[in-house]
Amino acid sequence: MPHADRISWRSLLLIGFVAGLHGLVLNAFWSGSDGRIAGELVILSVLPLTMGAAYLLGRLLFPMTWLDISVLAYSAWCIASIVLYLQPANPSRTGAYIYGVYNLVLPIACYFAAKSVPRRDHTYLVTALVLLNGFAIGYGLFLYFTRPAYYVAYLSSRLAQTGAVEEWQLFGRLQSYLGSTAVGYIGATSLVLITVASRQLRRLIPALAVLFIVGAALSLQRASFVGLALALIYLIFLSPQRIRFRLLTLVTFTAALIYAVASFATKADPLANTVEARATTDMIEGVRGFTQQRGYMKGLSYLSEFPIGVGIGGTSSAAESAGLLREGEVADANFMRIAADLGVPGLALFLLIVGIVLWRAWQSQHRAAWLVFLAIHFGIMLSTNVLDSFYISHGFWLVIGVIDADRKDLPVRSTIRSWQHLAGSPASVVG
């Protein structure tokens, strides 16, 4: 691993951008309003957009990877789908498409931005992402215990605005300023990402594992529970970490699980009742709800009527709030959401990305870690909504860029080269 003073300025800019996403959310949190976050995010996104454009321009003289091409084609179709609102009887409007570009297209810039930084710095990118994920969960738990009145009042007002009033949703959001779905996702995936982070951070795996496990579990998200189980299986049995780290993680998790079960069995407190209801009848009703009311059946209705889609963002919460959707929002089941928005071509392009990135992960130096990460992400996409969480989307595309460059047969060099190198031997090209 390189010395800290060798990290490139491109890497620092990208890390600063990801940190800036948290700054936007925290500013909205403490100001009590998120009305300006959209415009601020667009301004901040100039960084990854510029870096990504530089990478693509550098590739004009040399072939891009297959994943580059598939991601670029998917992005182009997302933008092209905006014109679909002109077709007769299409229920969507321009505002919904702006929402779709904001949440689904802008984050893709992080993929090309990650490819633009030296490959040797990718460890720093993953390390920074894990640390920021840990901060999000740790800060949320800190506020829950130190300023519960303000925290609960703020989240209650947010939930009331969106019509979400279930007790478990309020409690799940208490674990982070990013929301219950986001904290469940980042808790599970961070358990995997930490094993490919810097050596210094890997030494803290037992301590950080507790934080990520608590955050993912207390999100009370069904898909996050499955993702957490996959992450723990990987971390304890499949990861290349030292045996004492894995044993310590196993002992810590087992002790926490025994304590939680014993506490719920002996105390009839609101938290225990919430978790019990969430894990039994609510789980069963929720599965039926997301298949019929918020996911697959809704998406199939759109797809049958609009086989080339209704345009990106056309089945989003923005379109639903504006009363523009006859069939309602496709809130969960994100693969079906992509199919409804972008039609058969868009879903085919995204599935192409899935196939290529799985192939790249299989060829990589960290095969088990990347495959488990992808299994968690795509598994959560099957059942819940991560597309509308801009932080998850940015982090996902950034990691995809890292995976594409993490090939066993490549030396650890920059994924782009200077113009002097461009004039040299093509054999020195990475990626």
Q: Is the pLDDT of residue 142 over 90?
A: no
* Domain co-membership, 275 together with 132: yes
Last residue of a domain, one of 229, 246, 279: 279
pLDDT attached to residue 4: 47
Tokens of 69: 């091409």
* Domain co-membership, 90 together with 221: no
Last residue of a domain, one of 279, 311, 326: 279
* Domain co-membership, 185 together with 263: yes
pLDDT attached to residue 402: 96
Q: How confident is the model at residue 414 (pLDDT cuts 50, 70, 90)?
A: very low
Q: How far is the C-alpha of 19 from the C-alpha of 23, rounded, in Å?
A: 6
Alpha-carbon torsion (388, 391, 397, 400), positive or negative = negative
Pairwise pLDDT comparison (232 vs 37), residue with the higher score: 232
Residue 3 lies in a domain: no
Q: Is 206 left (phi over 0), alpha (psi -120 to 50) or beta?
A: alpha
Mean residue pLDDT of the chain comes to 78
Last residue of a domain, one of 279, 300, 319: 279
Three-class secondary structure of residue 7 per DSSP:
coil
Q: How confident is the model at residue 86 (pLDDT cuts 50, 70, 90)?
A: low
First-residue to last-residue Cα distance in the chain: 19
Residue 128 lies in a domain: yes
Tokens of 331: 């809130």
Q: List the domain range (segments joined by +) for residue 159.
A: 119-279
Residue 1 lies in a domain: no
Residue 90 lies in a domain: yes
Average pLDDT over residues 382-392: 83
Average pLDDT over residues 204-231: 83
Residue 191 lies in a domain: yes
Average pLDDT over residues 103-107: 88
Q: How confident is the model at residue 41 (pLDDT cuts 50, 70, 90)?
A: confident
Compute the residue count for the chain. 431
Question: How many other β-carbons are positioned within 10 Å of the β-carbon of residue 198?
Answer: 17
* Domain co-membership, 94 together with 134: no
Contact (Cβ atoms closer than 8 angstroms) between residue 301 and residue 336: no
> How many domains, in total, are found in the chain?
2
* Domain co-membership, 176 together with 264: yes
Pairwise pLDDT comparison (325 vs 387), residue with the higher score: 387
Pairwise pLDDT comparison (278 vs 427), residue with the higher score: 278
Instruction: Report the run of H or E that residue 31 belongs to, with start and end.
Output: helix 9-31
Q: Each residue of 9-33: pLDDT tens digit?
A: 899 999 999 999 988 888 777 776 6
